[in-house]
Amino acid sequence: MVRSAPLIAPSILAADFARLGEEAAAVQQAGADWLHVDVMDGHFVPNITIGPDVVKALRPHVTIPMDVHLMIAPADPYLEAFRNAGADILSVHPEAGPHLNRTLQRIRALGAKAGVVFNPSTDPSVIQWMMEDVDLILVMSINPGFGGQSFMTSQLRKIAALRAMIDATGRDIPLEVDGGVTPQTAKLCVEAGATALVAGTAVFKGGPAAYAANIAALRGA
């Protein structure tokens, strides 16, 4: 089977936060397809990062889609603020609220793509009866909360299972992987059926002069 190169979504969590706009522009210039933005609330995950105002401030610095990963609970009260700030994709964890389907409907009603994120322990069956309501699937290959963790190979079978579920729909739903993605683990993800890769450490290591080569190394996986 011939697979096309995966989309690369650098996670700004690994950028220099004092120069966030420049960093976002630099990874776009270096070939990034999407900008991945990790939103954490210190409640759903044990870390606090950024909110809608930072997404809004970043928006003029890039033209690529902003892929906003919400690690917050509840997520529903903040969807509109993130959409208004310029998010193109809004992804939520099923554990963040009692009505995943309603949350996805709200995201679409706001005009954004609706994504579902799977923690390492979350079963693919959670979306089995609502595949038509999903625009993106994101598989965590680490426990969410921090960059720089090691890739969990246990999640490769889940990527493959979700690949089969997507193929059965006949729709082209991006299958994204997040956490510990390196050129080595990227290859395993793509072989399992991933079409988009989030990478923080592997993109931002070495500073701006290295971004293009870092992205190319991931895409070539």
Out of 11, 103, 155, 214, the only residue in the binding site for ligand DX5 (CB under 6 A) is 11
Give catalytic residues, as residue numbers. Answer: 38, 178
- Number of Cβ within a 10 Å radius of residue 41: 18
Separation of first and last alpha carbons in the chain: 15
Phi, psi of 217 (to 5 degrees): -65, -35
Half-sphere exposure (Cβ direction) of 123: Cα atoms closer than 13 Å: 4
Residue 91 to residue 113: CA distance in whole angstroms: 8
Minimum CB–partner distance for residue 94 and ligand DX5 (Å): 15
Can residue 38 be called a binding residue for ligand DX5 (CB under 6 A)?
yes
Minimum CB–partner distance for residue 96 and ligand DX5 (Å): 13
> If we measure between CA atoms, which residue out of 144, 149, 141 comes closest to residue 178?
141
Per the CB < 8 A criterion, the answer to whether 153 and 105 are in contact is no
Can residue 220 be called a binding residue for ligand DX5 (CB under 6 A)?
no
Can residue 176 be called a binding residue for Zn ion (CB under 5 A)?
no
Residue 221 to residue 215: CA distance in whole angstroms: 10
Can residue 181 be called a binding residue for ligand DX5 (CB under 6 A)?
yes
CA angle 194, 200, 203 (to 5 degrees): 90
Alpha carbon 113 to chain centroid, angstroms: 12
Can residue 145 be called a binding residue for ligand DX5 (CB under 6 A)?
yes
Judged by CB, which is closer to ligand DX5: 50, or 165?
A: 50
Out of 46, 60, 98, 148, the only residue in the binding site for ligand DX5 (CB under 6 A) is 148
Can residue 38 be called a binding residue for Zn ion (CB under 5 A)?
yes
Candidates 51-59, 94-102, 126-134, 173-181 — which segment interacts with ligand DX5 by CB under 6 A?
Answer: 173-181
Can residue 178 be called a binding residue for ligand DX5 (CB under 6 A)?
yes
Contacting residues toward Zn ion, per CB under 5 A: 38, 69, 178
Contacting residues toward ligand DX5, per CB under 6 A: 11, 13-14, 36, 38, 69, 142, 144-149, 178-181, 198-202
